[in-house]
């Protein structure tokens, strides 16, 4: 049975309505068609899924067509699971082409991206068999991902910016993905390398390995904005999110998955998993922002806007806007920080909603780092005469210079 | 009209004199012929210029020939602008071959490099059309660069060591260069990637992207000295200058453009734009030397000879010879530094020309970091008993060990 | 003369015994057959040796066969030198095939790896001439390596884990290896690049250079364990040793040769040459562990198990199990460290064999870093109120979280 041809846009919409009205139908919160790389030894293992287009809480009409295009080839789509993954075959493509007919001539550039995918697959199918290289995945809930295709779809949602950082459920993703050797962007099973090591090495055909990891690199899947720069592909993991205008320098920098920037940020340090850095901030050379599982007791760290983390500084607490952490120092949850009565008043003024302990008779009031978390306009420094870590009201405005880097 | 054939060296020199005596002629301060990579979507955009040979205040005879070879094909060379860029065509090559005749058989190895370029182009032109792939650029002044070719020529001047660091005008270079994706050294327009993303991904032909940046990497254009080592190409940007014997390790190191070394230096940290490091110095693992726009108030930092920057230290002031900055500490312009009367006398002795504040009755004299800038033989340390940052007279001689790295 | 065919296993063993009983015979402590890359200009220079299999104090029977297979082709094996290297020719392969006959059908997977090498060479020799691409190397003593093949064999011994870290003599290795440009894992002579620079650049055929170094990268030669991850190939040098389960992140991390891990370790910092890190330890983002020639006075640093080096910390002394070095601080041999009487008692309890200076009447006892070297359960911190570097009894248990990275 084939999906019928849509005559025009109205007819297409009627078809979508018809599909969506079937019993048990659920609109997928996300879906997409991927080209997959399979295991060399075990082709049942999906090593990588490359999505030309991902949909995240959008394009429910296309989703309906894809579901019906599967059903029309005899596939029973299971709406009761959190996700559904299936092979993309020629008949599926034909069905989708039929349904998309009114849009075929409009699908160019930024318009009708899902239709463009189907058109490209139809074109490919005219000259070669669609082997087991293409997979379609639907997510009906943001539950723990069960398949590599679902993990990749979620990483795409983060890296394309369609889903905000920290909003996607990736629990268990490491258990779902294979650890593989990456050679020119292609994943190779380590066992396959071992099996062929002797012959490949003797023949001079041993592949060049760029990394061994479960995750691919951001730049192997994502095209950044025109004003975004990533000076070394190894520095940004797939699943990171970089706001346009962000620059990732090559020194000690790194952006892990589910971490990144929400504005133009100069990054020369480490943005660990779960960390979010705001517009105009500057992560200095070698600066470290700790992640949920590296010293923050599970509290994700957000850095506000126009905040400067000095070279080789370490931050384990959230910071507000216009803060400065001086070069070389570490401010952690448990760090005792001295604040003079005068500075405390200024800090309180800049943070009217904050409940801050009052100054007594002593010259310095002491806070734990965590008590100052998220405040604006704080300058953390170590007094170089007496070694005390102090917080004062930051005076300096932090500006990124677009010229230098 | 063709440029006439030179009969011998004397005839060649006469020809050069003739060319140079034309009205309005200016000797270019720099020139070179480049192979260019053009935009995939917009071929008018020059994305990269690769120079086999660059000339910087030298080889004025070859420059004259190149100018005349252009003029003889009807091109009007504008001497009034700061730079002049033009396509290299077959006729231009023929003209230059004619003029270079006395040198054609002598142009090998290190001799007559510009003639070698013309010979190679002549050879290429015999089997293929010189499309729009070759460009010649002349700089008549070291003004703000106006074209990508001029920017590249200047970066080459720095990276080949023909122009000393900080002597080349690169103002506005970032505005002239395109931000592109680099795939195996080839620049790709981001818009082109976007246009072909769906089809390339579905066909498994999406290119491997190494970086997204306006600048290429040093090693894509420059052959280092036999005893120079760069353990990772991403760590040195085009426009950096590395003196023979310099080693760039892969950990947290980075050398930006218009920055580098003037002697053999072991680099495991960051040499920011505008920073110059002297012979025998050691930039420890993760050490940061701040650049003009990252915390030095626009003062470029020079590091002298045989100076050691400890692991994870940060330096924001210039340092003289034989200094030590202890691991993990930061010395910035505003850092208050305590010096004992005894040590101050020793420091003064090592720096006879420095005007240093005198010790009074107190045990310690305090300086701002900037007041100690550029002094020799200073050891910066943080007293681990009382937290004070102190300067003493450095005793340790710093030697690089050629065996280890 | 050809080596005779072995009839069965007993016959093979008799043959081995016969070979080993020859006068002057020495069992090699290590041996292997490599495919070599030779200089483009000078083919006598070995630029790289790729071993499909290395033997380190093992497989003496195969060694005997290889020695006899050489001798049977008229080669005089010099047992008096510390190493012997020779070309592998077709006749050698035939001889070895004869001797290995009883094992030819058993040599698959992990069994009889040396026989697999010979079988593969025999197969290759059937269709092409074995030019000068294959070399066999025997080490009779662990003396200073004299040939690139011997250096590579030793690096393999370390990186495959067959030889423990710090047990292999690599003195002079830097003098034996050539500094070359690496392009897709292939070594290129710098002089060759220079000779062809003009033509290759003009033709658009200039090779992509990944690094310039004497050493290749670990991942170009070694297949890591299934649960080992190396997120960037540039971060691990050949000759490093990574215990299964180790993860090398891409930020500021680096593992030099003759350095590495003896258990699953999370590495986001630098493990310098000669450093060994124990199971369950965590080398935080940007943390530096100093090597024998970078600040430790030649004392190699070992880090125990379950020890945490905080982000951007620096360690110049050996540490025991369950230690913590706080983020951003440096503990070096000469660092003065304050310990309270109470904490000193706890530290002494955790280190019953250590001879520690006793507390007197003062509140704090002061130690030099070196005096605390190798102790268990110490927490190094800088008091943020008075700047004092202190050691207390570490309370926190350090666990690596397998989920995050």
pLDDT, tens digit, 9 for 90 and up, residues A14-46: 999 999 999 999 999 999 999 999 999 999 999
Average pLDDT (A215-223) is 98
pLDDT at residue A401 in the model = 46
pLDDT at residue C256 in the model = 97
Out of A83, A268, A305, A343, the active site residue is A268
B297 in reach of chain A (CB within 8 A): no
Residue in B with minimal Cα distance to C201: B52
| Chain C residues closer than 8 Å to B223 by CB | 181, 190, 193-194, 197
pLDDT at residue C405 in the model = 47
Give the closest residue to A404 by CA, choosing from A249, A220, A238, A253: A249
ipTM of the complex: 0.95
> A220-393, which class in CATH?
mainly beta
- Side-chain half-sphere CA neighbours of C109 within 13 A: 2
| Chain A residues closer than 8 Å to B151 by CB | none
Nearest CB among B203, B204, B252 relative to A251 is that of: B252
Give the closest residue to C62 by CA, choosing from C112, C136, C2, C25: C112
Lowest mean pLDDT across A270-279, B138-147, B291-300: B291-300
Rounded Cα distance between A72 and C376, Å, is: 67
Lowest mean pLDDT across A176-180, A358-362, B230-234, B385-389: A358-362
| Chain B residues closer than 8 Å to A225 by CB | 190
pLDDT at residue B298 in the model = 81
Nearest CB among A202, A254, A273 relative to C52 is that of: A202
> Is the pLDDT at A399 greater than 60, yes or no?
no
Q: Is B232 within 8 Å of C210 (Cβ atoms)? A: yes
Under the banding of pLDDT at 50, 70 and 90, the label for residue A225 is: very high
| Chain B residues closer than 8 Å to C176 by CB | none
* CATH, domain range A9-176: 3.30.70.2010
Among residues 82-141 of chain A, which lie with CB inside 8 Å of chain B?
A: 109, 113, 116-117, 120-121, 124, 133-134
Rounded Cα distance between B338 and B345, Å, is: 13
pLDDT at residue A349 in the model = 92
Q: Is A12 within 8 Å of A61 (Cβ atoms)? A: yes
pLDDT in tens, A334-370: 999 999 999 999 999 999 999 998 878 888 999 999 9
| Alpha-carbon distances, residue A206 vs B81, B200, C184, C290 (angstroms) | 53, 26, 11, 34
> Is the pLDDT at A405 greater than 60, yes or no?
no
> Is the pLDDT at A140 greater than 70, yes or no?
yes
pLDDT at residue B292 in the model = 82
CB contact under 8 A, B52 and C202: yes
Is residue C75 classed as helix, strand or coil in its secondary structure? coil
Q: Is A315 within 8 Å of A291 (Cβ atoms)? A: no
pLDDT in tens, B43-88: 999 999 999 999 999 999 999 999 999 999 999 999 999 999 999 9
- Side-chain half-sphere CA neighbours of C338 within 13 A: 17
CB contact under 8 A, B312 and C366: no
CB atoms within 10 A of CB B389: 24
A385 in reach of chain C (CB within 8 A): no
Lowest mean pLDDT across A140-149, B302-311, C123-132: C123-132
Average per-residue pLDDT for chain A: 95
Stated as kind and residue range, the H or E segment containing B68 is: helix B60-71
pLDDT at residue A18 in the model = 97
Q: Terminus-to-terminus CA distance in chain B, angstroms?
A: 59
CB contact under 8 A, B226 and C329: no
Rounded Cα distance between B110 and B93, Å, is: 21
Tell me if residue B199 is catalytic: no
| Chain B residues closer than 8 Å to A385 by CB | 336, 338, 366, 388-389
Rounded to the nearest 10 degrees, the angle between the axes of helix A113-127 and helix A90-100 is 140
Under the banding of pLDDT at 50, 70 and 90, the label for residue B395 is: confident
Under the banding of pLDDT at 50, 70 and 90, the label for residue A396 is: low
A385 in reach of chain B (CB within 8 A): yes
Task: Phi first, then psi: give them for residue A398, nearest 5 degrees.
Answer: -100, 120
CA torsion A246→A252→A258→A264, rounded to 10°?
-10
Is residue C94 classed as helix, strand or coil in its secondary structure? helix
User: Which of B211, B300, B331, B381 would you mutate first to test chain A, the one with the most A CBs within 10 A?
Assistant: B211
Handedness of CA B65, B68, B73, B75 (dihedral sign): positive
pLDDT at residue B138 in the model = 98
Rounded Cα distance between B261 and B218, Å, is: 14
Is residue B230 classed as helix, strand or coil in its secondary structure? strand
Judged by phi (left if over 0) then psi (alpha if -120 to 50, else beta), residue B323 lies in beta
Domains B9-176 and B218-393 share a fold: no
Rounded Cα distance between A120 and B199, Å, is: 6
Rounded Cα distance between C239 and C259, Å, is: 8
Distance from CA of A182 to the nearest CA of B (A): 11
Lowest mean pLDDT across A57-71, A219-233, A377-391, B355-369: B355-369
Chains that touch C (3 or more CB pairs under 8 A): A, B
pLDDT at residue A1 in the model = 65
Task: Phi first, then psi: give them for residue C395, nearest 5 degrees.
Answer: -100, -35
pLDDT in tens, B167-179: 999 999 999 999 9
Nearest CB among C213, C273, C288 relative to B229 is that of: C213
Out of C268, C333, C349, C362, the active site residue is C268
Nearest CB among B124, B249, B311 relative to C314 is that of: B311
Rounded Cα distance between A118 and C312, Å, is: 50
Domain locations in chain B as residue ranges: 9-176, 183-213, 218-393
Count of A-C CB contacts under 8 Å: 167
> Is the pLDDT at B366 greater than 50, yes or no?
yes
B348 in reach of chain A (CB within 8 A): no
Among residues 7-66 of chain C, which lie with CB inside 8 Å of chain B?
A: none
CA torsion B264→B266→B271→B276, rounded to 10°?
-20
Fold of B218-393: UDP N-Acetylglucosamine Acyltransferase; domain 1 (2.160.10)
pLDDT at residue C89 in the model = 95
Q: Is B173 within 8 Å of B145 (Cβ atoms)? A: yes
| Chain A residues closer than 8 Å to C227 by CB | 179
| Chain C residues closer than 8 Å to B124 by CB | 202-203
CB contact under 8 A, A326 and B329: no
Give the CATH architecture of domain C9-173.
2-Layer Sandwich (3.30)
Under the banding of pLDDT at 50, 70 and 90, the label for residue B359 is: confident
A379 in reach of chain C (CB within 8 A): no
Rounded Cα distance between C269 and C291, Å, is: 13
Residue in B with minimal Cα distance to A224: B190
Task: Give the pLDDT of chain C (405 residues) as one tens digit per residue.
Answer: 688 899 999 999 999 999 999 999 999 999 999 999 999 999 999 999 999 999 999 999 999 999 999 999 999 999 999 999 999 999 999 999 999 999 999 999 999 999 999 999 999 999 988 989 999 999 999 999 999 999 999 999 999 999 999 999 999 999 999 999 999 999 999 999 999 999 999 999 999 999 999 999 999 999 999 999 999 999 999 999 999 999 999 999 999 999 999 999 999 999 999 999 999 999 999 999 999 877 677 889 999 999 999 999 999 999 999 999 999 999 999 999 999 999 999 999 999 999 998 878 888 999 999 999 999 999 999 999 999 999 999 986 544 444 444
| Chain A residues closer than 8 Å to C329 by CB | 330
């Amino acid at each position: 049975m084939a999906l019928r041809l849509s005559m025009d846009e109205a007819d297409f919409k009627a078809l979508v309505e018809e599909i969506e009205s079937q019993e048990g139908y659920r609109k997928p919160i996300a879906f997409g068609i991927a080209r997959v790389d399979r295991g060399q030894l075990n082709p049942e293992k999906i090593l990588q899924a490359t999505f030309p287009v991902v949909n995240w809480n959008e394009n429910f009409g296309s989703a309906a067509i894809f579901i019906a295009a599967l059903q029309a080839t005899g596939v029973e789509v299971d709406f009761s699971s959190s996700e559904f993954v299936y092979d993309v075959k020629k008949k599926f493509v034909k069905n989708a082409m039929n349904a998309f007919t009114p849009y075929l001539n409009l699908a160019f550039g930024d318009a009708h991206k899902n239709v463009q995918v189907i058109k490209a697959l139809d074109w490919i199918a005219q000259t070669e068999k669609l082997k087991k290289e293409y997979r379609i995945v639907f997510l009906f809930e943001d539950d723990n991902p069960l398949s590599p295709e679902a993990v990749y779809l979620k990483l795409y949602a983060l890296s394309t910016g369609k889903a905000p950082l920290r909003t996607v459920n990736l629990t268990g993703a490491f258990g779902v993905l294979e650890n593989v050797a990456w050679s020119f962007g292609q994943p190779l099973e380590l066992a396959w390398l071992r099996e062929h090591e002797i012959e490949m090495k003797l023949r001079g055909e041993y592949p060049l390995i760029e990394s061994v990891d479960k995750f691919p690199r951001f730049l192997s899947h994502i095209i950044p904005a025109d004003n975004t720069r990533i000076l070394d592909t190894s520095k940004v993991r797939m699943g990171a999110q970089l706001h346009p205008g962000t620059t990732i320098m090559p020194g000690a920098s790194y952006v892990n998955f589910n971490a990144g920037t929400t504005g133009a940020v100069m990054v020369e340090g480490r943005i660990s998993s779960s960390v979010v850095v705001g517009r105009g901030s500057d992560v200095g050379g070698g600066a470290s922002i700790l992640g949920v599982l590296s010293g923050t007791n599970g509290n994700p760290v957000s850095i506000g806007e126009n905040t400067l983390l000095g070279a080789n500084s370490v931050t384990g607490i959230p910071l507000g806007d216009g803060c400065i952490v001086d070069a070389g120092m570490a401010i952690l949850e448990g760090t005792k920080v001295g604040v003079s009565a005068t500075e405390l008043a200024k800090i309180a003024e800049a943070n009217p909603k904050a409940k801050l302990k009052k100054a007594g008779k002593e010259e310095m009031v002491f806070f734990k780092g965590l008590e100052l978390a998220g405040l604006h306009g704080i300058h953390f420094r170590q007094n170089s005469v007496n070694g005390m870590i102090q917080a004062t009201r930051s005076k300096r405005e932090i500006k990124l210079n677009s010229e230098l880097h």
